[in-house]
Structure 1
Amino acid sequence: MSLITSYVEDSATRKTLHLSIPAEDVTAATEEMARRLARDVRLPGFRPGKVPVDLVKKRFAEEIRGEVLEHLVGDAVEEAVAEKGLAPIGRPKVEDVKFEAGEPLSFRVELEVRPAVTPADYRGLKVPTDPTEPSPEEVEKVLERIREGHAAYDPVEGRPAADGDFALIDIEGTFPGGDGKDFRREKVLVEIGGAETLPELSANLRNAEVGVRTTFQKDYPADAPDADFAGKTVLYTVELHALKARVLPPLDDELARQALTPREGEPPEGADLAMLRGRVLDSLKHDKEHALREKRRRAVLDGLLALHEVEAPETMVQAEVDGSLKEYARFLARQGVDLKEAGIDWKKLREEARPAATRRVKEYLLLDAVGDAEKIAVTDTEVDGELRRRARSTGTPFSELKGALAKSGGLDGVREELRIEKVIEFLLQEAAPASLS
């Protein structure tokens, strides 16, 4: 029925077709639609099914035109897409429609498709082999933090504040430019000269006496890490209530028992410094192994992207951005944030989310292509295993979770997630070691 008058590959993901449907096909479709309507329409003075077709064509010209257009265009696009072997993503865009009585029906179709990806050289990708055994220095650093967490704070009297002292203060901040929300914090403990303390705050507390009240101004740069302060001026007012000296406990069995004791319960049997060191060592090793897994995974994906030029379809990128913003909105809602009152610049967030979303789409296209090339699949048993794991973690009965996913069409998504993970594991097994810092 359809006739492709031109076909343009605008890019790897965008195609344009010009279609023309012969006038006789348009006329036949119009007549058929009018006859159908004549059988169903009810008009005064006519028995059901006996309304003259010519009268129907006059009375319902616009309705018939709309139905014919929708029917012919839909069928023509489907036929043309099949003829060209295309798999559109999203809804094709139909424009420049020319539809006149007795004339061919012509229009332009713009559609987006997944790019053809032929993966190559994906075996032997370089991945790091960093050691995961913690060093003695790393263990000691954690133990020192444990000492700090169990420190006592003794009063300092008879002298002004000095570096290393801990100051108990009230602090409030106002925004002279009216571009921020004023705040006040009471009984805050800060270390004078400490790495986590504002240098300006330390400077105003240094050599100060208890009871002093001081004011200072800080101009934050536009690239300050905290968006609430970036590019703004804050006027701080600080009142010093007390000075304290931190006294660290000795690193011994008693400290170990305290550190190993849960909030509500007793210390484990045999709790001592050796056990604490062992726990710290195991925790550090676990963290290093997890970090290395993520580093190796990132190296595989970086390697794939470096070897292949892949265009990310806009429809897939937008869907990925939508998904990330919805997840962020759900996170904020769980934190009790009123999304309507929060003043969130969603347009800006969309722009910021786009680069990462584009990368994820490219990664998926490449991993999917490798999976096809290696015929990597996921069995029903593997899907059920993943669902049982999720059911245990959420406290949901397995049958209930599986039924809900089956009803919503989510089982295919679970299967695809597992398949992509299997592809990554395959690439890691085929990777070559490289020492990356």
Structure 2
Amino acid sequence: MQVSVENVGKLERKLTVKFPAERFESQVTARIAEMGRTIRLKGFRPGKVPTTVIQQRFGAQVRGEVLSDLIGSTLREAVEQENLRPIANPSIDTTGQPENGEIAYTATFEIMPEFPEIDVAGLEITRPTAEVTDADIEKMIETLRQQRRSFEAVERASADGDFVMFEYAAQAGDYRFPAEGLERAGSVLGSGTLFKALDEALTGRKADESFNAEIAFPADFHNENLAGKTAQVEFKVIKVQEAHLPTVDAEFAKLFGVVDGDLATFQKEVRANLERELKATLMARLKGEVAEKLANAHPELDVPNLMVQSEARGLAAGSVPRGQQPPPQLVEAAVPMARKRVIAGLLMGEIARKQSLTLERKRLAEQLAAIASTYEEPEKVVELYNSDPQLMSGLQNRVMEDQVAEWVAEHAKTTTQTLSFDEVMRPVGA
């Protein structure tokens, strides 16, 4: 087998491999002979199908399969021989025909970059910590009560926390919405569903009351013809309903899967859920911090374009409706962030390799159990992951990234930042 390597880019390589045509023909002959012993064809006794018949019917298929197998095996040998680390399956180009007693093909692919010395000792990492308090549990239970609240009609004027159903029409210059009649809407006052000026206009109003008001619409209002403008708005209140919160009792606990309605058990489950969310968010923030600092420390690292483009498409896809392809300009705009993410991911992978970090099976099982616990039938989720190599591989990668982030935090200049539960769970930058 002859192998030659050509650099066609910073990380792109073209590998040319040649192997004896005799090796190919001998394997074709052997496979056809094997088929002759096992294949069943109408009109022939088992094991007595003539070789010429097999060649006529299956020769092209066999030659294609053998060629594919030989390319796969020789490519693995060539990559190992040349000490290359491809990042994805290569593009193969070949005629498949012998020439001068050899069959040749080219394989084009991108390889892993040459990594610099990754010294994490100088990285300044901030690691947030927090714990779930009794106050956090009480606040979550109150949130659950709000989610299960009911509404009953009242004759009094509306107040904060009431649900108000109303009809309206807005006139801004020559523009009217709706063009005819009234539009119906509803909201809980003070919930933030409506903007403040509408809340204020609807507060203190009774059912069947009609009135007009001058309303300043916010600049980000969903109707661009009203956004940022002041309009004359005609209102008609349809109904006012008062909120009633459920009592935290056995029946309330049963709504959340506590079969016997025991409140102590319910509180324990609320705490367990909050602690699971907190643990996951703390790890995500640490991982993000480590990734950011690693990428900033090695901004000039050459990274495979294939990986950057794939990451950019993934980022851009988050900005368009599900199922739609993001436009090229959106993908291009995501490239800088994608490149930074790829740099961070590759550096974390290299740290795992250099430090011989191995996947912690206990941590993997805990992570899978945590994911499964959020579903009604957790055992089926565990079974799904165990039977789906792609799902399991993704989970294993996440767990390994967690391990790398913790290793970096242990060896860097790490400062612990104590936060409350709410501070940790609040989106970064909010």
TM-score by length of 1: 0.55
User: What's 2:211 paired with?
Assistant: 211
Please tell me whether the aligned partners of residues 287 and 401 of structure 2 are also in contact (alpha carbons under 8 angstroms).
no
User: Which residue does 2:60 correspond to in 1?
Assistant: 62
> In structure 2, what is the equivalent of residue 142 of structure 1?
none
Residue identity in the other structure for 1:303: K
Task: Answer whether contact 2:171 2:233 (CA < 8 A) is retained.
Answer: no
Conserved in 2, the CA contact under 8 Å of 1:5 and 1:20? no
1:359 Cα offset (Å): 3.7
Residue 387 (structure 2) pairs with residue 407 (structure 1): yes
1:301 counterpart (264, 270, 291): 291
Q: Indicate how the Cα distance of structure 1 residues 310 and 237 shifts in structure 2: closer, same or farther if over 3 A, else same.
A: farther
Equivalent residue, structure 1, for 2:233: 238
* Map of 1:123 onto structure 2: 121
Corresponding residue SS for 2:386: helix
- Which one is further off, 383-392 or 90-99? 383-392
Query: Quick one: which amino acid aligns to residue 295 of structure 2?
Result: L
Asked whether the 8 Å contact 1:169–1:186 carries over to 2, the reply is yes
Aligned partners of 1:181 and 1:103: how far apart in 2?
Answer: 81
User: Once the 2 structures are TM-superposed, how far is the Cα of residue 58 of structure 1 from its aligned partner?
Assistant: 5.2
Partners of 1:91 and 1:3 in 2: CA distance: 21
Residue identity matched to 2:247: E
Q: Could you tell me how far 1:304 is from its partner in structure 2?
A: 0.8
1:184 aligned residue: 183
Does the 8 Å CA contact 1:119/1:369 hold for their aligned counterparts?
A: no
Corresponding residue for 2:247?
264
1:93: how far off? 1.6
Taking the aligned partners of 1:290 and 1:5, their CA distance within structure 2 comes to: 48
- 1:305 CA displacement: 0.6
**1:175-223 alpha-carbon deviations (Å, 9 max, x no partner):** 999xx999934467999xxx95589x99xxxxxxx734889999x7xxx
Displacement of 1:38 in angstroms is: 4.7
Q: CA shift at 1:313, angstroms? A: 3.9
Rate the CA distance shift 1:45–1:116 in 2: closer, same or farther, 3 A. Answer: same
Superposition deviation, residue 425 in structure 1: 2.6
Q: Distance in 2 between matches of 1:394 and 1:131?
A: 27
Q: Deviations over 1:394-415 (max 9, x none)?
A: 46557x6555433334555444
Alignment CA distance shift 1:85-1:187 (3 Å): closer
CA distance in 2 between partners of 1:428 and 1:20 (Å): 48
**Residue 173 (structure 1) shift:** 7.2
What is the CA-CA distance between 1:94 and the residue it aligns to?
Answer: 0.8
| DSSP-derived class of the 1:424 partner | helix
Q: Is this contact kept in 1: 2:167–2:184, CA < 8 A? A: yes
- Once residues 290 and 33 of structure 1 are traced to their aligned partners in structure 2, the CA distance between those partners, rounded to angstroms, is 53
Residues 297 and 43 (structure 1), Cα distance of their counterparts in 2 relative to 1, 3 Å cut? closer
Q: Give the CA deviation at 1:114.
A: 3.5
| Equivalent pairs, count | 335
1:280 alignment counterpart: none
Partner of 2:353: 372
Where does residue 72 of structure 2 map in the other structure? 74
Q: Secondary structure at the match of 2:233?
A: strand
Q: Deviations for 1:132-189, whole angstroms, at most 9, x for unmatched residues? A: 9xxxxxxxxxxxxxxxxxxxxx979xxxxxxxxxx99744579999xx9999344679
User: How big is the shift at 1:109?
Assistant: 0.7
1:383 corresponds to: 364
What is the alpha-carbon distance in structure 2 between the residues aligned to residue 265 and residue 44 of structure 1?
76
Q: How far apart are residue 20 of structure 1 and its match?
A: 1.9
Correspondence 1:137-152 to 2 at 5 A: none
Distance 1:359 1:129, change over 3 A: closer
In the superposition, relative to structure 1, how do residues 108 and 216 fare at CA in structure 2: closer, same or farther (>3 Å)?
same
Higher alpha-carbon Rg: 1
The 2-side partners of 1:290 and 1:25 are apart by 54
Q: What RMSD, in angstroms, separates the aligned Cα atoms of the two structures?
A: 5.7
Native 8 Å contact 1:128 1:295 kept in 2: no
Identity %: 19
Q: How far, CA to CA, are the matches of 2:179 and 2:100 in structure 1?
A: 68
Q: Distance in 1 between matches of 2:290 and 2:179?
A: 44
Letter matched to residue 2 of structure 2: L
Change in CA separation of 1:123 and 1:354 when aligned onto 2, cut-off 3 Å: same
| Alpha-carbon distance change, 295 to 32 in structure 1, aligned in 2, over 3 angstroms | closer
Residue 93 in structure 1 maps to residue 91 in structure 2: yes
Is 1:8 paired with 2:27?
A: no
1-structure distance, mates of 2:3, 2:342: 31
Work out whether residues 129 and 416 of structure 2, in 8 Å CA contact, stay in contact via their aligned partners in 1: no
Shift of 1:51: 5.1
- AA aligned opposite 1:184: E
Q: Tell me, which stretches of 5 or more residues in structure 1 are unaligned?
A: 133-153, 157-166, 203-209, 243-260, 267-287, 333-338
Whether the 8 Å CA contact 2:124–2:413 is kept in 1: the answer is yes
Deviation at 1:80, TM superposition (A): 1.5
How far the C-alpha of 1:18 sits from its partner, in A, is: 1.3
Residue identity in the other structure for 1:71: D
CA distance in 2, matches of 1:33, 1:293: 53
User: Amino acid of the residue matched to residue 413 of structure 2?
Assistant: A
In the alignment, structure 2 segments of 5+ residues that lack a partner are 131-155, 159-163, 202-209, 238-243, 250-277, 418-428
CA distance in 2, matches of 1:388, 1:131: 23
Distance 1:419 1:187, change over 3 A: closer
Contact 2:19 / 2:103 at 8 angstroms: preserved in 1? Answer: yes
